[in-house]
């Protein structure tokens, strides 16, 4: 699960974001969302990973959900003094030292273009790049798994070339196929389920990314390195 507020709970900002200070919001009465300051980058994510390790020692936490340069801390009970919890979170963040997770390397063969690349033409129009350049920039990059969420096994990947930025759709595709290789904003990933999806598809991967019967169901884990391999290009 990714640490982002849902539409049924309005975050209440307690500590506003600043250049060097984390932003903290409450979601309901027991949940505190900490968002890293600065850029959406690997340095910020490494501190989130470090903070996750620190918070595992807190006995009053029911769940810790690290996300994309953020972290959701859910207490077992509603605190009598929310400000005390905020103070502890800020202190833990300030004392967190960057760590790197020693993950594995995952190679994902991709059929770029073809019937599943339903949004490739729109991405070309937005970027001004040719379809061949879009494909090349996508598979030449090296990605890191920042977090898992949204759907079982779905990895949020950092490392997309800025030239391939494409906003998520205002009206989602109603039945995007499982396995579609997609771009949403400055992130890329592989669709885990067939169904509504607001990301933009540029290809298809047959590799099974999630097996509920496996001892380790998700092929990806935070810290892993991902490379997309151009198994076939159909433009």
110 and 82 fall within a common domain: no
CATH number of the domain that residue 80 is part of: 3.30.1360.40
- What pLDDT score was predicted for residue 102? 83
Exposed / middle / buried, residue 124 (Cβ in 10 Å: 0-12, 13-18, 19+): middle
Write down which residue in 70, 95, 120 finishes a domain. 95
Q: Is residue 5 part of a domain?
A: no
Q: Can you give the pTM of this predicted structure?
A: 0.84
Q: Read off the pLDDT band of 5 (50, 70, 90).
A: very low
Quick: pLDDT tens for 147-165. Answer: 998 889 999 999 999 999 9
Per the DSSP assignment, residues forming a β-bridge with 119 are none
- What pLDDT score was predicted for residue 44? 93
Q: Read off the pLDDT band of 7 (50, 70, 90).
A: very low
* Domain encompassing residue 71: 12-95
């Amino acid at each position: 699960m990714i640490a982002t507020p849902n539409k049924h709970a309005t975050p209440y900002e307690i500590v506003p974001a600043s250049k060097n200070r984390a932003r903290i919001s409450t979601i309901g009465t027991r949940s505190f969302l900490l968002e890293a300051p600065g850029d959406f980058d690997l340095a910020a994510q490494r501190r989130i990973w470090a903070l996750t390790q620190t918070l595992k020692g807190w006995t009053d936490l029911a769940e810790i959900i690290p996300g994309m340069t953020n972290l959701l801390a859910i207490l077992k009970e509603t605190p009598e003094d929310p400000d005390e919890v905020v103070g502890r979170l800020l202190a833990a963040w300030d004392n967190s030292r960057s760590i790197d997770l020693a993950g594995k390397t995952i190679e994902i063969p991709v059929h770029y273009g073809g019937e599943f690349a339903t949004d490739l033409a729109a991405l070309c129009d937005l970027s001004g790049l040719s379809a061949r350049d879009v494909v090349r920039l996508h598979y030449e990059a090296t990605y890191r798994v920042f977090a898992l969420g949204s759907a079982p096994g779905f990895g949020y990947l950092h490392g997309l070339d800025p030239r391939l930025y494409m906003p998520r759709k205002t009206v989602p595709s109603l039945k995007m196929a499982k396995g579609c290789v997609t771009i949403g904003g400055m992130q890329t990933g592989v669709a885990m389920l067939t169904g509504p999806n607001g990301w933009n598809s540029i290809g298809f991967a047959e590799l099974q990314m999630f097996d509920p019967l496996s001892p380790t169901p998700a092929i990806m884990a935070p810290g892993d390195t991902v490379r997309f391999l151009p198994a076939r290009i159909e433009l």
